Structure 1
Amino acid sequence: MKMSIRNQITGKVVSVTKGEAMATVKVEIVGGHTLTSSITRESADDLGLEPGKDVTVLVKSTDVALGVEG
């Protein structure tokens, strides 16, 4: 898969929590770290996301937010 997004991280789905319209997907990456993504439930179904599935996480700089203690 070739993508224009440069920040690509491979991982494995740990959990998928589906709500009425959205799904929260937790992905374990190298070093045991976990990333969490909120996507539409329809997308989660279309991608067949389930624990154990290998995925590529795409991080676009305009869609990342950071926070620090005050």
Structure 2
Amino acid sequence: MLPEAVAIVMAPTDKTRSCGIFRLSDPGGMNILKECRETGYHPHREPGDGSPIYEHCSNVYINPNLRLEICDLR
């Protein structure tokens, strides 16, 4: 996991929000995911320090006029 890594994650079961931009909290969320050995979709425990696993990225600006195309290269 690199600081510059980007992932697009969709959670259609979360009815509390339509979309958002988040990052793993550091060190809390980063450590939880580094230690995880499970596969497939599953919940994670909260970090021991009480911090959230994910943080809202308030420093990201979304420009609705930009064109975005996502290609799945699997």
Q: What TM-score, normalized by structure 1, do the two folds share?
A: 0.31
Structure with higher helix content: 1
**Greater fraction of residues in strand:** 1
TM-score (normalised: structure 2): 0.30
- Higher RCO (Cα < 8 Å, 6 or more apart): 1
